[in-house]
Amino acid sequence: MVRILKPRRSQPIARRAARVLAWILATSVMDAAWADVDKGADSFDSNCAECHSVAKTLKNKKGPSLFGVVGRTAASVPGFAYSDAMRAAGFAWTPDKLDAYIAAPKKLVPDGKMKFDGLDDAAERADLIDFLRQQH
Amino acid sequence: MLGLLLLIGAGSAQALPSFARQTGEECAACHVGGIGPQLTPHGQKFKIGGYLDGDSPDNWLLPVAVQGIVTSTHTDKGVPDGAAEGFKDNNNTVFQEGSLFLAGRYYGNVGGFVQETYSGVDHHWAWDNVDLRYARTLKLGGKDTIVGVSLNNSPTTQDPFNTLPAWNFPYVSSDLTPGYLGEPLLAGGLEQVVAGLTAYGYFDDWLYAELGTYHDLGGGFLRNVGLYREDRINLSGTAPYARLNIGHEFNHQMASVGLVAMNANVLSDPSSSDKDKYRDVGVDASYQFLGTRKHIFSLNSRYLHESQKLRATFAGSGADRSRHHLNEYNLNGSYYYLNTWGATVGLFGTSGARDATLYAPGDIEGSRTGKPDSRGVIYQVDWTPWGKEGSWMEPLANLRLALQYTMYDKFNGSSSNYDGAGRDASDNNTLMAFAWFAF
């Protein structure tokens, strides 16, 4: 008996989008599982806390408050005097943007004010960003 | 008789809420242990940068701050006729000093640190530390380089590296204990009685170089700022000063080594053309482990050598010979937990050549042996409850409560009967409790 194979139907756009979304969510869950919030807090204390606060009061120090920074539009904390370059950046602080900025601030915003050479360790950046995600 | 008797002094406390208001940062961001003056690398850069950083909305006042220190002092053996005029032989509690500061950014690239202090021992106001700066950041070979000038009134007051005399441990000492003989001129001999103009550069956060000169201020000026006629050190010409420091930050640690030098000629007898010549050279090194700021360790050290040609003092029969020298060291290590609980151990010592006239016998503060040698160890434990983010009244208030014990192994040349009147070095061992607050 000859088995007749049915031709595969192309997937609707909605289903494709759902699969992509599921992959992103799964990746995020995996990222969250791999990243270590406690290590991120330590990294924040070691690298960031002199100049940045995560207090809910949106306290600005030498650098702007990082409370709620993930997802926030760049240069949008009230009362902080941003550089022209940061004001012109216009992007939102997605985890990817934060990762790029923390790795090399002057590469992402060449004329920005932040005096920080960058954090080379990708795993430490992931921990740090995961810690920042919790600050909202 | 310069160099004969230099009291240890009241130490050099510094940690100012006016800086915290300006930067929006807690005291602990710049100071090891949550209160000054021991600087973190962040604090060192703030000072080198001219006290300019920050534009916090909390900075609603002029850069004004207030500081007070209350001490309670017990020496193993009291000082006959009082530890100072108006005080008991022993067990004295006093509001030792109160200071007003104008400290922070004044205008544009000009900032400073100006301190006026009331002594509760002398009952007297006088100017204290002054460090006015202009600083800016340039690109040199593609690297950030801070360049600046400092107008200050004490050699090493402008230094940011925690090792040189103006800002080394102990940061608070009792004014009501006997002082020992013979410390190098660079270790406080010109404190507040000269004007210095120095230019400096700080390249790429690791190389610091500074050159400048110090000048006599004149008796009239010193009286106008609250000092006494006898405080004047009559400098002849200018006293050149040089400083070099190389530092490296790695894995939330910092290490540095440095050199310092100063040449000064002093007209001890204005009626004579003879001068006393002092040549100071020193090496220093420091290390800090900062980590997450939960556990902070630091080590600070320096060694100074001063060669002296005391022709004027010798000609005036104030010394048995003109050629002398002094060696001085200071080594201290501290540990702080959460920038709140701290313990510090410090070793100190001075030694020099024998001279029975220059270092003459005398009750309490003289030398039976004619030698200026003193050495000892200082232990301190302290509690600094505020000065961190979220602390009470932050950034408007800070406080340290401390207990300090100073043990002398040798005092003015000897361990026993050092003054020729039966007093032992250990009789000057001092237990001091102090409260240091700032607003």
What's the pLDDT tens digit per position in B202-248? 999 999 999 999 999 988 999 999 998 788 888 999 999 999 999 99
Portion 16-55 of A in contact with B at CB < 8 A: 42, 45-47, 49-51, 53, 55
Q: How far is CA B373 from the centre of its chain?
A: 20
Q: Going by DSSP bridges, is the β-strand pair B323-337/B341-352 parallel, antiparallel, or unpaired?
A: antiparallel
Please state the three-class secondary structure of B82-111 as a single string: CCCCCCCCCCEEEEEEEEEEEEEEEECCEE
**Residues B137, B146: Cα–Cα separation, whole Å:** 4
ipTM of the predicted structure?
Answer: 0.84
From B31, B33, B94, select the one nearest B68 (Cα to Cα): B94
CB atoms within 10 A of CB B309: 17
- Residue B110, class by beta-carbon neighbours within 10 Å (0-12 exposed, 13-18 middle, 19+ buried)? middle
Residues of A with Cβ-Cβ distance to B52 under 8 angstroms: none
Q: Do A81 and B55 touch (CB under 8 A)?
A: yes
Name the closest residue on chain A to residue B52, using Cα atoms: A62
From B148, B149, B240, select the one nearest B190 (Cα to Cα): B240
Q: Do A45 and B40 touch (CB under 8 A)?
A: no
What's the pLDDT tens digit per position in B59-109? 656 788 999 999 999 999 999 989 999 999 999 999 999 999 999 999 899
- Beta bridge mates, B248: B255
Which amino acid would we find at residue B321? R
**Residues B424, B79: Cα–Cα separation, whole Å:** 12
- A83 part of contact set with chain B, CB < 8 Å: no
Contact, B334 vs B343, CB < 8 A?
A: yes
Q: Do B29 and A61 touch (CB under 8 A)?
A: yes
What are the pLDDT tens digits along chain B (439 aa)? 333 333 333 445 566 788 888 888 999 999 999 998 999 999 999 999 999 988 765 565 678 899 999 999 999 999 998 999 999 999 999 999 999 999 999 989 999 999 999 999 999 999 999 999 999 999 999 899 999 999 999 999 999 999 999 999 999 999 999 999 988 999 999 999 999 999 999 999 999 999 999 999 988 999 999 998 788 888 999 999 999 999 999 989 999 999 999 999 999 887 888 999 999 999 999 999 999 999 999 999 999 999 999 999 999 999 999 999 999 999 999 999 999 999 999 999 999 999 999 999 999 999 999 999 999 999 999 999 999 988 888 778 899 999 999 999 999 999 999 999 999 999 999 999 999 999 8
Q: Do A51 and B252 touch (CB under 8 A)?
A: no
**Residues B317, B358: Cα–Cα separation, whole Å:** 9
Pick B53's closest partner by Cβ from A46, A49, A62: A62
- Residue A80, class by beta-carbon neighbours within 10 Å (0-12 exposed, 13-18 middle, 19+ buried)? buried
- A111 part of contact set with chain B, CB < 8 Å: no
**Residues B433, B148: Cα–Cα separation, whole Å:** 39
H or E element in which residue B382 lies: strand B374-383
Rg of the Cα atoms in chain A? 20
Residues of A with Cβ-Cβ distance to B292 under 8 angstroms: 42, 45-46
Pick A46's closest partner by Cβ from B25, B29, B292: B292
CB atoms within 10 A of CB B140: 12
DSSP-derived secondary structure letter, B166: G
From A115, A63, A69, select the one nearest B23 (Cα to Cα): A63
From B169, B219, B213, select the one nearest B39 (Cα to Cα): B169
Which amino acid would we find at residue A123? A
From A25, A31, A26, select the one nearest A130 (Cα to Cα): A31
Q: How far is CA B435 from the centre of its chain?
A: 19
Tokens of B86: 């108006």
- Beta bridge mates, B255: B248, B287
Residues of B with Cβ-Cβ distance to A47 under 8 angstroms: 252
- B57 part of contact set with chain A, CB < 8 Å: yes
Residues of A with Cβ-Cβ distance to B42 under 8 angstroms: 50-51
**Residues B300, B306: Cα–Cα separation, whole Å:** 20
Q: Do A61 and B55 touch (CB under 8 A)?
A: no
Name the closest residue on chain A to residue B338, using Cα atoms: A45
Tokens of B152: 């200050």
Tokens of B413: 């040349």
